[in-house]
Each structure stands twice: as structure tokens, then as C-alpha cells.
Structure 1
Amino acid sequence: MPVAAAIPMSLVVVAVSSAAALVPRAGAGQIRWRIAGIFGLTGPVRPPPGPRSTASSTPAWPSPGSPC
């Protein structure tokens, strides 16, 4: 299977298996919906850029074979 098709297919598999596990747990009252909502809303938030994204294009270490 090509990668372009495998990635979306794996996401579908994860979504279906998660939904299948959610139904019995929700019916049994085993889910803390407030915590799940907080986690679900804050999970996709992108973290602030770190030093890698603001660093110059010059590598910190010389590559092998280059003069020091």
C-alpha cells in the first residue's frame, strides 16, 4: 500500500477502534467527560516555537570531512 493511502487508512483504523472502546465505557460511566473535554481541546494546540525553529541555517557542529 502506498504511503499516501496508508496514513489516512491508519487514522481511520485508530478512530474506529477508539470509538468502539468508547461506547461500552461511556455506557458504564467510566469516562470523566470534563477531563476528556479539556484534554481534547488542548491536545491539538501547537506549542510555542522553540530554539530549533528560530536557529540559523548554519549547523552547530561541523559535518564530517569539513575543516574545523
Structure 2
Amino acid sequence: MNRRKTHINSIKLKLYHVEKGILIPVENIANPKQGKIAEVFGAGGGTQIQLGTVVDWYEKLGLMKELK
């Protein structure tokens, strides 16, 4: 097995969701979905971002942190 494939497999192991018992594909984390929020009653029009998994995983991987 080459080094790249070994590295990818180790990442997959880190993305195992213990509570759900499933592997979360790296593509889900790397490619969040975005869309425009519909305008209703004069509000909205912003951008909505749907993450590929729960925020905890982004924090554990160092991709996101809570601002206080």
C-alpha cells in the first residue's frame, strides 16, 4: 500500500462517528453546501451554509473554533 493511500485510510478512521456507527466521507467535510436565504417579510437574503457533519468534527480537526 502506498503512503498516500495509507494517509487517506488514517483520515477515514479519524472520521468514524462513534454515536452513529458510520464513516463520514472526507468529501462531506471538504465541500459544505451553500445557498442564498430566501427573502421573507423584508428579511433574509444572506448566505446559508450546510456543513457536511456536526460542528464538533470541524473543531476536532482544527478547521473551526468558537469565538467568544
Question: TM-score, normalized by length of structure 2?
Answer: 0.29
Higher RCO structure (Cα 8 Å, ≥6 apart) = 2
More strand by share: 2
Question: TM-score, normalized by length of structure 1?
Answer: 0.29
Larger radius of gyration: 1
More helix by share: 1
